[in-house]
Structure formats: structure tokens, C-alpha cells
Amino acid sequence: MKQPLVYPAAEKDDKALQDLVDFYNETLGFCPNSVKTMYHRPAIAYAFIELNKAVMQNNGKVDSALKRMIGYISSNAAGCRYCQAHTIRAAERYDASQEKLANIWDYKTHPAFSSAEKVALDFALHSSLIPNAVDDNIAENLRSHWTEGEIVEIVGVVALFGFLNRWNDSIGTEMEGGAIESGEKFLKSSGWNVGKHSY
């Protein structure tokens, strides 16, 4: 794309917008252009951030780092380079081990990943394909390691990034410097680049 479909909204003196910025300063170190683009219709930005908070809340076993790795696998399956960079950055910021980050695509066999993590990441991959590829085997594997509440959290992450993948690839959201840095650090060796998200 020669330019984004829609540019981020100019920041205004708005307490609610500042709350959005503060939330993402914690998770990513910057507020993503995607949220600023949503802010052209503030209700969408506010609704999105509330969904994001609910989905990414750490309730225990499906921890913050795993949720971001699920988001990465899902975004990779969808082909969204913008979200791939953001999720791998957030996984690092939420203490995913360097070994897991470096071997994310070998999750099925790499010893750094537990059996429960492997089936969660496998579900993320199969549930993000079009058409959806979740079958009885994938479902039974997931049920054997995770409770219903935990499965809802996992599906929530996949669904959240389904929205974000469509949003960012359709708009061609410009990628921020911090996201580019993380993409190049962890993903470049497997062929990742900024793609349509650079102007």
C-alpha cells in the first residue's frame, strides 16, 4: 500500500485516550497506531481496550506470556506482520523465556514448551486457519490439559487477534519503531519483515 487506509487520530487532551495510552505503555512500551486509528470513533477504541483487558487478564495457568505467544501463532497463521511483531514483543515483556521466543515455531517438539503449552499453541494455529481446522482431536487434546474457563481464555486470545489481524492488514497500519525492533530481533531469521506496514 502507498499509504494507510486511515491514519491514526491526532492525540487530544482526553483522559480516556490517555488511559488507553498508559495501558499500552505497560504492555508494549508505546501506544499502537491501531488503537489510535480506532480512536476516530472513540467508542470502538474504548470497547476494544475493555475487551483486550478482559481477554488478557492473568487468571493463572494461561499466563500473560502464553497469551501473547498464542496471539503470535494466531497472527502468523493469518499473515498479519503487524500483530506478529506486537505479540512477540509483548511476550518478551511478559517474561516469556528467550528459549521459547527463539523457538516459537518449533513449539511442537521443543523441550522449552510444556505439553499444555504445546496443545494451546496447536489450537491457536488450527483455529486461526481459514477454513477453521479445529477437529475432535485438537479439541480433545485441549480439554485434556485445560479447564473450560482456561479454554475460554485461549479462544478469547485467538478471537481478539482475529479482529486485530483484519483491522491492521486492511488498514495497513504503520508499524511503530519498537515493534519493528522486536520483529527484527526474534522473527527476521524466519522470514519476517515489515511488509505493507512501512511508509
- pTM, to two decimals: 0.94
Query: Does domain 59-190 fall into CATH 1.20.1290.10?
Result: yes
Residues 73 and 161: beta-carbon distance below 8 Å: no
16-38 confidence digits (pLDDT tens): 777 777 778 878 999 899 999 99
Say how many CA atoms lie within 13 Å of 72 toward its Cβ: 29
Tell me the pLDDT of the chain averaged across its residues.
Answer: 94
Residues 165 and 196: beta-carbon distance below 8 Å: no
Q: What percent of the chain lies above the pLDDT cut of 90?
A: 82
H-state helical runs in 28-94: 33-38, 42-56, 64-78, 81-93
29-82 confidence digits (pLDDT tens): 998 999 999 999 989 998 998 999 999 999 889 999 999 999 999 999 999 999
Question: Pseudo-torsion of CA 138, 142, 148, 150, nearest 10°?
Answer: -130
Q: Which residues contact 132 (CB under 8 A, 6 or more apart)?
A: 126
User: What is the number of residues in the chain?
Assistant: 199
DSSP line for 137-197: HHHHHHHHHS-HHHHHHHHHHHHHHHHHHHHHHHHTPPPPHHHHHHHHHHTGGGT---GGG
H/E segment holding residue 189: none
Q: Residue ranges of the domains in the chain? A: 59-190
Is residue 11 pLDDT above 90, yes or no?
no
Return the amino acid letter for 199: Y
